[in-house]
Chain A
Amino acid sequence: METDAEQIRSEFESELLRTANSQALKDLRNRYLSRKNGRLSLALRGLSKLPAAKRPHAGQALNQARQRIETLLAERQQDLETHESSQQQSGDPLDLTLPGRRLLIGQAHPLTQVRHQVESVFRELGYRIETGPEIETDFHNFEALNMPEGHPARDLQDTFFTEGGYLLRTHTSPVQVRTMMSRKPPIRMVAIGRVFRRDSDISHSPMFHQVEGLAVDERVTFADLKGTIAAFCQRVFSPDTKIRLRPSYFPFVEPGAEFDISCALCSGSGCPTCKRSGWIEMGGAGMVHPAVFRAVGYDPGTVSGFAFGLGIDRIAMLKLGINDIRLLFENDLRFLRQFPQ
């Protein structure tokens, strides 16, 4: 005769673990709790055969076991129901090799992405972003930049004119002029924007984008210019980018320079991208010409400054591996979507 409540409970628990569905659970309940021949019912009935002194203690143990069994049954029941209902909903197993569902997400133009990167690099270096109009006066675009009427350098920047004697800015430098005219040094500014020149082929678009940095202060030097260009190029391209400054001529700077970056494709050993020189021409730079300071009302005897500028389109083409600038302005979604961000 079974009176050992503890044993009944432990056997129940091990059987419980093996019940996989509601039917098995129902059978299990019957085997232990059925009034007629459940093991616990039988054991309770068997109590009468025990000596009177042992009955209360054994009865209590059996009742506790019963309670425990009922609780476990109820919990298990709930688990199985949850599991079974989810199984019923899904039916057959899912083919999870099917593609997931995506949203179509738009994005900024690759040029804008590069522009944002350039802006954040300049902010890191402590520069303020300034803007200016795209239609400019001759004064701001040429005259104040030491390119008086008849200056041969004007020919290099073949200019669009609008009715009324205005022009489309040929570079972002007029923003320098406007900023210096409206503010006092120290200045750390950057201008980014569209510029226009009458020129169109695989590497020239009549509309393109420039970025230009200007620092004016009491003691700004050419060495600072070199360091700033290096810091800028290393952040925009890669930390091991090397820069090279070559003397060059721009009317609004003196000394003037063009700067190159080491070719990332061939690491300087020479490839078609860098025309086998190991260097890629990036932009122009120099110390602000005293004539420019005088034009904006600064005293070239007390302040000095540097400026450097380069093409955003050119940065984008190099970084993204684009060989035709016109792709940037065709707005072909097959092209734009290659650069999600």
Chain B
Amino acid sequence: MKFCVEWLQELSGLQQPAEELARALTRIGLAVDTIEGEGEDVVFDVEVPSNRADCLGYRGVARELCAALGGRLQALDVEVPPKAGDGPPPVVIEITDPSLCMRYSARCLKGVRAGTSPDWMARRLERSGVRPLNTIVDITNYVMLETGQPLHAFDQSHLRDNRLSVREARKGEKLITLDGTERHLGSDHLIIADARQPVALAGLMGGLDSEINNDTQEIVIESARFAPLAVRRTARALGMRTEGSQRFERGTDPGGTLQAADRAATLMARLASAQVDPRAVDLYPAPGELRRLSLRHGRVKALLGMAIPLDQMRSILERLEFRVLCAGPSHLEVEVPSFRSDVECEEDLVEEVARHHGYDLIPSTLPEARDSSDKVPETTRGQVPILLSSLHAHGFTEGICTVFVKSNLNHLWMDGSDHSVRLVNPLSETGDELRCSLLPGLVAATRRNLNHGAPGVALYETGVVFRTSDADAKPNEENRLALVMAGTPSLGTWNRGASGADLFDVKGALEEGLERAGWPSLETRPAEVAWLRSGRTAQLLCGERPIGWLGALHPETAAALDVDAETMTAEISLTELERVPASPHRYRPLPRTPPVIRDLALVMPRQQEFAEVAEAIRKLDSRIVHVEPFDRYESKKLGPNHISLALRVTFHHPERTLVSEEVQEMEDQILSQLHERFKIRLRGA
């Protein structure tokens, strides 16, 4: 809220320069964000904490300044005629439910001449961010700024039967508010009605009908204490927020309503030649007692880690207008003023004392080192960081994508077994659901990078994805890792070209990462999923547990995301993976005998899987320790149904050097087995 310094100085009697006042306010918890203007026009923008309704008024802030710097808060200038006569009240007020409106005070005035406000008032309003309109409206705003109590002025001639009642609206009732909008009302809305219909939204905005204009002569000033929740509910239901509602929602001072009405009446009498009706109306059905709290010296010390002398605490609280009812040897009994509804417990008093004593004076210590009560290891440590550092070594850079995804893109990754999670109130249509896969975000990031001219992209992300099986149940969160590769992400140099990425780059990065982290080797199983291309998709398993999918994007998925179909992806569930036991690396004795290596150039049917061949070879003999492919090619000579695969087979015996005869024997065995089982033959044979 904006505060003009000249007004604060007048109320507090403090004449310190603006900078000094600003420092003091910031120090006691009313942070001055900006200081603008010069001389008379200096304005503070103060960040008023959301529990301090009293500081949404100049007197509240001035009171804090006085407590901090030793000023004396000026009394409210009120001059109204003494109560006279017992005749009928000038306006009949009714509160249907005191829980919605604790107090309703009103003053009536006659012979009003609404004109233009004097310069000093208009300037103060303007500096505080309020546009001057006419004397009457300006005075209600001025008193709201001064006291924090929102006021409303009705044109009394437009109130039927001279009645006002505070009640919940009935379904079907309507009100055209000051801003010209027709509001359709219901029981969610707290209103002020005359004998027939709504005339104002309580605490929010008046009705157009009873608005003050230049012809207005009779006025009712409303100064009420509406329940914060009732105003909040009305404001929410109508999507409105006004200067008044902000203050009511925080809890205005029930003790100050009549005074504020009188203050406004005083100013109207002076500035708009009004005659104030001596019969104030003041409905206060159940005035509560002021809150009493005790503040123990020991509690202050225990909470702050520093003792503050009792008399100093007393002095601080009294400067803030708390009443000290009783001062014991080690505690104070205090009464909380009605404008401080935020002070509810002893800890709140500790804060009052601490902030005016000065947070700066509290020492700086460290808590005692303590072992946690729980010995279970942290969930964030473990194998995953090892896996990720391996991805870095393979050239993958981490991305962090938004969790908000457009539903049609999200649905590309749904497989029908569960549902995506919709937001009730998305920020925009492009993010109306929570991601059910990391890939939509990561693929979109890939596209943007390629559009910027990156020759290739290798990105990964870890994070939570959201799915639900039952619309009412709490959605399931699964931690995942996804990789995307496209284009030519590796670096070429002046003497060696870069090579394009394929699925084996993605697979290799994962294989290496899992093994380094101590997990079992990655296995693949041919599979089909909706978002990946047929024949370019595999299910990934680790320790026989399915953990995710590897594959090139399905052309339709790629088209929907506006990327090339040669976009390689993998996505695995870290939640699942972490259920697979990882074993620590342990020393294996180094071989004392040399291995024998034989290369076999094979011709095999195109559909034959390598893994099956390798497995068959390894199973033949325990001395066959390793089978790896080192070349694969296709040629016209081999025909369309065959390919050539060159295998390197390693033979080894831990105890002795193998002789060439026994290696030859095993090699022959391999070849006959491959031929028998898979119709694989040696190339050239």
On A, residues with C-beta under 8 Å from B are: 98-99, 101-109, 111-112, 119, 125-126, 128-131, 133-135, 137, 150, 152-153, 155-156, 160-166, 168, 183-189, 194, 196, 198, 200, 206-207, 215, 217, 219-224, 226-228, 230-231, 244-249, 251, 254-258, 275, 287, 289-290, 304, 306, 328-334, 336-337
Contacts and interface: CB of A to CB of B under 8 A. Distances in A.
B393 interface: yes
Contact of A227 (B364, B388, B403): B364
Given A106-B397, A255-B350, A244 B449 contact: no
Contacts of B426: 160
B371 to A, nearest CB: 8
Given A107-B392, A152-B50, A227 B365 contact: yes
Interface residues of B, number: 100
Nearest to B351: A255
Given A98-B494, A128-B372, A333-B457, A108 B355 contact: no
Interface in B349-370: 350-351, 354-355, 359-360, 362-370
B396 interface: yes
B554 interface: no
A266 B645 CA distance: 66
A330 B366 contact: no
A245 B401 CA distance: 34
Q: Lowest 7 A-B CB distances belong to which pairs?
A: A247-B29, A221-B305, A223-B305, A249-B49, A255-B351, A247-B355, A331-B399
A99 B254 CA distance: 78
Nearest to A133: B477
A210 B395 CA distance: 28
A224 B51 contact: no
A101 B495 CA distance: 9
Contact of B374 (A98, A131, A183, A331): A183
Interface string B210-237: 0000000000000000001100110000
Contacts of A111: 400
A153 B50 contact: yes
Given A125-B366, A329-B402, 20 more contacts: A104-B395, A106-B391, A106-B458, A108-B392, A109-B399, A129-B379, A130-B378, A135-B421, A150-B233, A155-B50, A162-B424, A163-B471, A183-B374, A198-B425, A221-B306, A223-B363, A223-B364, A246-B359, A331-B448, A337-B397
17 contacts: A134-B403, A135-B474, A150-B232, A161-B425, A163-B422, A183-B374, A186-B370, A223-B304, A226-B363, A227-B365, A244-B360, A249-B49, A249-B52, A255-B354, A330-B445, A331-B400, A331-B459
Given A137-B474, A152-B249, A249 B395 contact: no
Contacts of A189: 372
A274 to B, nearest CB: 12
Interface stretch (B112-120, B329-337, B485-493): B485-493
Nearest to B422: A163
A333 B427 contact: no
B195 interface: no
Given A128-B372, A131-B380, A247-B359, A224 B399 contact: no
A107 B397 contact: yes
B370 A188 contact: yes
Contacts of B608: none
Given A254-B347, A255-B303, A287-B303, A160 B425 contact: yes
B84 interface: no
B250 interface: yes
B354 A247 contact: yes
A105 B392 contact: yes
A163 B229 CA distance: 25
A221 B365 contact: yes
Given A104-B490, A223-B364, A275-B34, A255 B347 contact: yes
Contact of B51 (A185, A206, A228, A249): A249
Nearest to B377: A128
B404 interface: yes
Contacts of B363: 223, 226-227
B392 A226 contact: no
B418 to A, nearest CB: 13
A248 B367 contact: no
A119 B22 CA distance: 36
Nearest to B441: A331
Contacts of B397: 106-107, 109, 333, 336-337
Interface of B: 26-29, 31, 33-34, 49-52, 228-229, 232-233, 249-250, 302-306, 342, 345, 347-348, 350-351, 354-355, 359-360, 362-374, 378-381, 388, 391-404, 421-427, 431, 434, 442, 445, 448-449, 452, 454, 457-460, 463-464, 466, 468, 471-475, 477, 489-491, 493-496
Contacts of A231: 366
B494 A249 contact: no
Contact of A246 (B26, B250, B348): B26
A126 B373 CA distance: 12
A68 to B, nearest CB: 39
Given A112-B398, A336-B399, A188 B474 contact: no
B509 to A, nearest CB: 9
A272 to B, nearest CB: 13
A330 B444 CA distance: 10
Contacts of A160: 423-427
Q: Among the interface residues A155, A222, A230, A330, which one has the most CB atoms of the partner chain B within 10 A?
A: A222
A249 B50 contact: yes
Nearest to A305: B367
Contacts of B392: 105-108
B306 A329 contact: no
B182 to A, nearest CB: 26
Contacts of B394: 106
Contacts of A161: 423-425
A107 B50 CA distance: 42
B448 A187 contact: no
A184 B373 CA distance: 6
Contacts of A155: 50
A135 B305 contact: no
Nearest to B48: A249
Contacts of A336: 397-399
B48 to A, nearest CB: 9
Given A126-B370, A131-B380, A249-B50, A152 B399 contact: no
A134 B464 contact: yes
Contacts of A106: 391-398, 458, 460
Contacts of B425: 160-161, 198
Contacts of B347: 254-255, 287, 289-290
Given A186-B373, A221-B365, A246-B31, A103 B50 contact: no
A161 B475 CA distance: 12
Contacts of B399: 109, 331, 336
Contacts of A119: 380
Contact of A164 (B381, B400, B464, B474): B474
Given A105-B393, A220-B367, A222-B354, A246 B29 contact: yes
Given A126-B369, A287-B347, A333-B454, A200 B303 contact: no
